[in-house]
């Protein structure tokens, strides 16, 4: 490996900068040139890149977002764009590529791998929706941000004796809502993995009231419904004033947590190591305290196992 490229695609996620930094520094330490591809796969299609040196990644480990920029590139998926990307990879002299992003990014990496480009994927998305890995880069930072919001909203919920519905991101995955629900002591979580039973949610709120609870927090995953509709339904059934907040992009930015910096750094270095020992077309993941790798194709074929235990526990602990 003489030259490795690195790109970030899809939604940005805190911890991506730590991973970029590790690819660059670990690569240079091993006498490999590193090129940063700008704005995800769009940068490959357009040949937009920058040679990276030790200073290119100085002062970024603690920053959210991605210094390389990100994009959702439709052009790359089309045949013309894809061929342009392959041409630019050759032109830039890239021998191997590290992609950082979610499931779409992994599909892009797999397509390149099948065309003979050695690739390694790093899972970077706040959604935690990749079935093969316990955690993705950005998830824990996002959770922390959600918890800060939950705590602030809980204050006003208690003061006014209201119900507050908080809508969080996650696309079709309920993990942000579920884990923030458990860690934030929410009364109920509404997630796509479990059929929404509004009567059960309302019963829970009323039970809480009956034993003197002042606040009621409902965490809603974006994939399970709309905060305005759910709030209106709750207010209608319970008769309790119900407000809603949509946390939106606050969840995707901000200072990466210690955990996201750690796994970002470990994965960045591991990606370079795998390319150097000719282990190609792999994706990295987390299991317990370990970083592991597996074939991208196999990882993409896996189905998500729903964490029902955590869901049940969240319900039990909020009685
Ligand atoms: N089937 C595919 N084949 C080739 N490339 C793909 C495919 N799907 C997605 N991509 C490329 O990967 C990019 C990132 O994918 P996508 O926009 O779905 O985000 P993601 O990686 O899933 O991240 P997030 O989970 O944060 O949304 C796309 O913009 C596209 O360029
Ligand atoms: O950046 P965009 O295209 O608005 O995408 C938003 C989506 O991206 C994510 O932030 C990350 O996948 C999702 O949680 C959300 O639904």
Residue 94 Cβ contacting ligand 1 at under 6 Å: no
User: What are the structural domains of the chain?
Assistant: 3-138+256-301 (3.40.50.450), 140-253 (3.40.50.460)
The interface predicted TM-score of the complex, written ipTM, equals: 0.98
Residue 267 Cβ contacting ligand 2 at under 6 Å: no
Per-residue pLDDT of 47-64, as tens digits, reads 999 999 999 999 999 999
User: Per the structure block, which two tokens stand in for 295?
Assistant: 């074939």
Task: With beta carbons less than 8 A apart as the criterion, state whether 23 and 15 touch.
Answer: no
How far does residue 185's CA lie from ligand 1's centre (Å)?
A: 34
Threshold 0.90, pTM exceeds = yes
Q: Report the C-alpha gap between 110 and 283 in whole angstroms.
A: 10
Per-residue pLDDT of 191-232, as tens digits, reads 999 998 999 999 999 999 999 998 999 999 999 999 999 999
Residue 72 Cβ contacting ligand 1 at under 6 Å: yes
Task: With beta carbons less than 8 A apart as the criterion, state whether 9 and 106 touch.
Answer: no
Task: With beta carbons less than 8 A apart as the criterion, state whether 113 and 140 touch.
Answer: no
What pLDDT score was predicted for residue 281? 98
Q: Report the C-alpha gap between 146 and 140 in whole angstroms.
A: 10
Closest of 263, 269, 260 to residue 24, by C-alpha: 269
Residue 107 Cβ contacting ligand 1 at under 6 Å: yes
How far does residue 171's CA lie from ligand 2's centre (Å)?
A: 7
Q: Which residue's CA is the closest to the ligand 2 atom numbered 8?
A: 11
Q: Report the C-alpha gap between 304 and 296 in whole angstroms.
A: 15
Is 127 among the residues known to form the active site? yes
Count of C-beta atoms within a 10 Å radius of residue 95: 16
User: Which of the residues 127, 129, 260, 307 is marked catalytic?
Assistant: 127
Please check if 72 is assigned to a binding site.
Answer: yes
Residue 176 Cβ contacting ligand 2 at under 6 Å: no
Please check if 191 is assigned to a binding site.
Answer: no
Q: Which residue's CA is the closest to the ligand 2 atom numbered 16?
A: 171
Q: Give the chain's residues under pLDDT 70.
A: none
Report the atom number in ligand 2 closest to the C-alpha of 170. 14
Radius of gyration (Cα) for the chain, nearest Å?
21
What pLDDT score was predicted for residue 89? 98
């Amino acid at each position: 490996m003489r030259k490795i490229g690195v790109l970030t695609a899809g939604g940005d996620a805190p911890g991506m900068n730590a991973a970029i930094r590790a690819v660059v520094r670990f690569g240079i330490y091993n006498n490999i040139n590193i090129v940063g591809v700008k704005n995800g796969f769009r940068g490959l299609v357009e040949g937009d890149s920058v040679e990276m040196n030790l200073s290119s990644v100085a002062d970024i480990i603690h920053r959210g977002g991605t210094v390389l920029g990100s994009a959702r590139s439709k052009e790359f998926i089309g045949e013309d764009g894809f061929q342009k990307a392959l041409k630019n990879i050759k032109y830039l002299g890239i021998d191997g590529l590290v992609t950082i992003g979610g499931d779409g990014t992994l599909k892009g990496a797999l397509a390149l791998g099948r065309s003979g480009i050695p690739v390694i994927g790093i899972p970077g998305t706040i959604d935690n929706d990749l079935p093969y890995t316990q955690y993705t880069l950005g998830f824990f930072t996002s959770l922390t941000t959600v918890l800060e919001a939950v705590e602030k909203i809980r204050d006003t919920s208690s003061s006014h004796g209201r119900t507050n519905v908080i809508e969080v991101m996650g696309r079709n995955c309920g993990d942000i809502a579920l884990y923030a629900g458990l860690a934030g002591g929410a009364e109920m979580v509404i997630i796509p993995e479990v059929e929404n039973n509004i009567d059960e949610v309302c019963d829970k709120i009323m039970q809480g009231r009956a034993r003197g609870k002042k606040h009621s927090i409902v965490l809603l995953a974006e994939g399970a419904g709309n905060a305005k509709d759910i709030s209106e339904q709750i207010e209608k059934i319970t008769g309790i004033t119900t407000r809603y907040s949509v946390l939106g992009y606050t969840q995707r930015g901000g200072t990466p947590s210690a955990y996201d910096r750690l796994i970002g750094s470990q994965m960045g270095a591991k990606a370079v190591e795998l390319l150097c020992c000719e282990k190609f077309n792999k994706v990295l993941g987390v299991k317990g305290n370990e970083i592991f790798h597996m074939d991208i194709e196999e990882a993409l074929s896996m189905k998500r196992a729903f964490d029902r235990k955590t869901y049940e526990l969240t319900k039990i602990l909020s009685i």
